[in-house]
């Protein structure tokens, strides 16, 4: 189980430990973003501090319809007590947790300031249609 809280801006926040090269690690508060289909986005300064490995370029269409190009890195997060290798998108914004990392889990949010955010492993994930 992963537990977080709803902040004063009514954002669902959880804390992740992101592992980098040479034993570097950093705790990062991330906003749960169900409109983001990737795993995790981090600002360039955190990516550089962790020494994450560059993998490729990516493209995305943003909510306002504009297109953006960004770098994609490889990282490891401590996810539900286990290390998990993921793609990390470079975004000069608040860190975001996306649907790819949430796949196979149930997300419950009490949408009030100070409300709880609970992420639980599904006993049997449903297949994607």
- Distance, CA of 58 to CA of 65 (rounded, Å): 16
Alpha carbon of residue 113 to chain centroid: 21
Contact 95, 28 (CB under 8 A): yes
Bridge partners (DSSP) of residue 83 are 78
**pTM of the predicted protein model:** 0.86
What CA–CA distance (Å, rounded) separates 107 from 90?
A: 24
For domain 17-105, give the CATH number.
2.40.70.10
> CA 68, CA 85: separation in Å to the nearest integer?
24
For the stretch 31-56, pLDDT in tens is 999 999 999 999 999 999 999 999 99
Alpha helices in the chain, H assignment, sequence order? 44-50, 99-102
**Is the pLDDT score of 129 beyond 60?**
no
What pLDDT is recorded for position 123?
Answer: 80
The domain limits of the chain are 17-105
């Amino acid at each position: 189980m992963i537990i977080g809280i709803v902040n004063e801006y009514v954002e669902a926040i959880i804390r992740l430990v992101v592992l980098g090269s040479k034993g570097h690690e950093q705790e990062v508060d991330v906003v749960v973003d169900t409109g983001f289909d990737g795993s995790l986005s981090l600002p360039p300064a955190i990516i550089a501090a962790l020494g994450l490995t560059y993998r490729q370029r990516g493209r995305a269409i943003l909510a306002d319809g504009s297109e953006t190009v960004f770098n994609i890195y490889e990282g490891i997060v401590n996810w539900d007590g286990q290390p998990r290798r993921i793609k990390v998108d470079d975004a000069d914004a608040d860190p975001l947790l996306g649907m790819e990392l949430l796949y196979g889990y149930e997300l419950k949010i009490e949408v009030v300031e100070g409300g709880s955010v609970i992420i639980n492993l599904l006993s049997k994930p449903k297949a994607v249609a």
